[in-house]
Amino acid sequence: MKLHKKILAVAIVSLFSSFVFAKEMPQRLGIGIKDNTSESLPSLAAIYHLNGLTAVTGGIGVDTKKDNSKFQLNVGVRHVIFHENQLHYYAGGQLGLVTFEDPTSGKENGFEANILMGVEFFLTGLENIGFSIEGGLGLSSVKDTRIRTFADSPTRAGIIFYF
């Protein structure tokens, strides 16, 4: 039974991969959503591809919940390492400011710096929508200084619409 599940999984991945392809993005602006900060906060994101290999990124997230507010602002850079047939594989960095509040300790401010790697892929028929998943290592100074690993799950992937 386990072998049948593995064969089925490989078949589904193979079928899905035939609908995906890499896309050149020189001088294109993308706007969408992502969530990759130390205090999980869905954010509005922007990506501008300077050329086919390098892009600058930015994001802002706000939650004004009473006694539990959160805010984050970040900027970053990406460099495409491999242009695969089905996706872009990239590495980059991100710097951000983070503020959050909780009822017991009050308001906390700090910064974070992330080194990340990720993939972005496009589906046939939806060439202007990029789906990205990132992971990496981060340094956060909110409340206490800590080093952390982070990784998006497919259900928390970034989604960007390119103009």
Pairs from 149-152 (Cβ < 8 Å, separation ≥ 24): 150/36, 150/38, 150/114, 150/116, 152/35, 152/36, 152/118
Instruction: Please report the beta strands in the chain, taking only residues with DSSP state E, as ranges in sequence order.
Output: 20-21, 29-34, 43-49, 54-63, 70-83, 88-102, 106-123, 126-140, 146-151, 158-162
**Residue 58 pLDDT:** 95
Give mean pLDDT in consecutive 10-residue pieces for the chain, a chain of 163 residues. 54 44 71 83 93 92 90 94 82 93 85 92 84 90 86 80 91
Fold of 22-162: Porin (2.40.160)
**Residue 8 pLDDT:** 52
**Residue 6 pLDDT:** 54
DSSP 163: -
**Residue 112 pLDDT:** 92
Side-chain-facing half-sphere of 61: CA atoms under 13 Å:
23
Domain boundaries, the chain: 22-162
| Gap between the Cα atoms of 10 and 97, Å rounded | 41
| Gap between the Cα atoms of 48 and 162, Å rounded | 9
Find out whether 41 and 35 touch, Cβ atoms under 8 Å: yes
